[in-house]
Amino acid sequence: MDALLVTHIPNIRYLTGFSGSAALLVVRRDATILITDFRYAAQAPAEAGASASVEVDQKSVWERLAKLLAAVPAEALGIEGQALTVRDAQRVSGLTRGRVVPTADLVERLRAVKSPEEVAAIRAAAALAQEALAEILPGVRVGQTELAIAAALESALRRRGSEWHPFPTIVASGLRSALPHARTSGRALGAGEWLLLDFGAEVDGYCADLTRTVIVGARADDKQRAVYELVRSAQHRALAGIRAGMTGREADALARDVITARGFGESFGHSLGHGLGLEVHEAPRLAPTAETPLPAGAVVTVEPGVYLPGWGGVRLEDDVYLSADGPVRLSDGRTELVELV
C-alpha cells in the first residue's frame, strides 16, 4: 500500500487523539492527514497536535479526500475492510485511480496492547464505576423498577466524571436475569429475586465494563447461593490463572471447565470475555473458538455466567490487565454475595 485510509473513529482517535465524530485519516509514509468538517475546525488541530496535519472542508470530507488523492495519487490505497460500508468502499473506488486494497484489523492489532496511560484510564474508569454502584446499591428496594435503578446508576456515573456510557446499561431482575443481554425494562423488583447490573464508565475515551449480581429483599435460598458460588469460583479460577501467551480458548476454559464439571456447561453460552479499551468490545477474544495468543499488555474482561430460563441468572465481571508478570486486576474483584435486605 502507498497509503491507508482510516475511517473507524476509534482507530482515528488512537492514532491522532482526535475525539470528534466525523473524520477521515490518510496515513502515508511521509505524512498523516486528518480530514474533518467545520464543527471540529478548532478542536481537531488542538487534539491532533503534531500527530497529523488537519484539513477542514466546509462541505464534504469526501470531496476533500478526492482533492487529496488527486494531488498525491496512491497506486494502492488500503481501506479498513472490517469497518467501511460497501457504499463507502464504492465511493473510495470512484475517488482514486489506483487499486483499492481491503485490509483487516491493522490498527486494532496495535490497540490490543495498552500503554501505561491507557491502562491508567481504564483503571480510573473502573474505580469510578465501582464508586457509583456502591452509592446506589443501599437505596435499592423491592418495588423499584429496573429503569429507575438504571437511571440512578447512570446519574452516579456521570456525576463522578464518566464521559459517557460505553454501552446501554443492563439492569435485569427476577426471571429476566437469565437474559445475558437483557434490555432494561419497567419491571418492578420482587422480594428474593436476582438483580443483575452490567454497566460501564468512560475516562479519557477508555472504557470499563463491570457486572455484579445481587439478591434483593430477602436472603438467598440454597439454590441461589449454590449457583452464585459456582460462578464466583469459576471467575476466581480464571482471574488467577489467565496469562499473556495462552490462547483465548485456553483462557475461556479456565472458567468453563469449572461450570461444565458441575453440569451447567450448556447454561454458559457466551464467551468468557473480550478486550477492552477505546471500545467496550475489541481484541483480543476469550472464547472457545479463539486460538490467537493473548498479547502481553492487553486488557480483558473476565465474565462467566450461568443462565437458567424460568429461574434467573448470575454473571460476574471484572477487568484485568495482562502484564508480562501475570494478571493485574483493574477493578476491585469484590464479588462476595450481596443480599439487600
C-alpha cell at 229: 458460588
Using alpha carbons, select from 338, 145, 315 the residue that is nearest to residue 235: 315
Domain boundaries along the sequence of the chain: 3-111, 116-340
Q: Does domain 3-111 have CATH number 3.40.50.300?
A: no
Q: Do domains 3-111 and 116-340 have the same CATH topology?
A: no
Grid cell at residue 129? 464505576
pLDDT at 56 (0 to 100): 95
Q: Give the Cα separation of 272 and 316 in Å (integer).
A: 10
Sequence-distant (≥ 6) Cβ neighbours of residue 115 within 8 angstroms: none
pLDDT value, residue 328? 98
pLDDT of residue 58 exceeding 90: no
pLDDT digits (tens, 9 = 90+) for 161-180: 999 999 999 999 999 999 99
Residue 59 has pLDDT above 90, yes or no: no
- Average pLDDT for 31-43: 97
Phi/psi class of residue 310: alpha, beta or left (left: φ > 0; alpha: ψ in -120 to 50)? left
Mean pLDDT of the chain: 97
Q: At what angle do helices 146-159 and 116-136 cross, to 10 degrees?
A: 130
Query: Around 134, how many Cα atoms within 13 Å sit in the side-chain half-sphere?
Result: 10
pLDDT digits (tens, 9 = 90+) for 104-123: 999 999 999 999 999 999 99
Homologous superfamily of 116-340 in CATH?
A: Creatinase/methionine aminopeptidase superfamily (3.90.230.10)
Dig out the grid coordinates for 276 from the structure.
477492552
Reduced to 3 states (helix: H, G, I; strand: E, B; else coil), residue 145 is strand
The arithmetic mean of pLDDT across residues 319-335, rounded, is 97
Query: What is the mean predicted confidence (pLDDT) over 218-231?
Result: 98
Contacts of 227 (CB under 8 A, 6+ apart): 264, 306, 308, 314
Q: How far is CA 200 from CA 109, 210, 334, 341, in A?
A: 23, 6, 16, 25
Q: Which three cell numbers stand for residue 106?
A: 491493522
Residue whose entry in the numeric block shows the C-alpha cell 446501554: 168
Percent of the chain whose pLDDT exceeds 70: 100
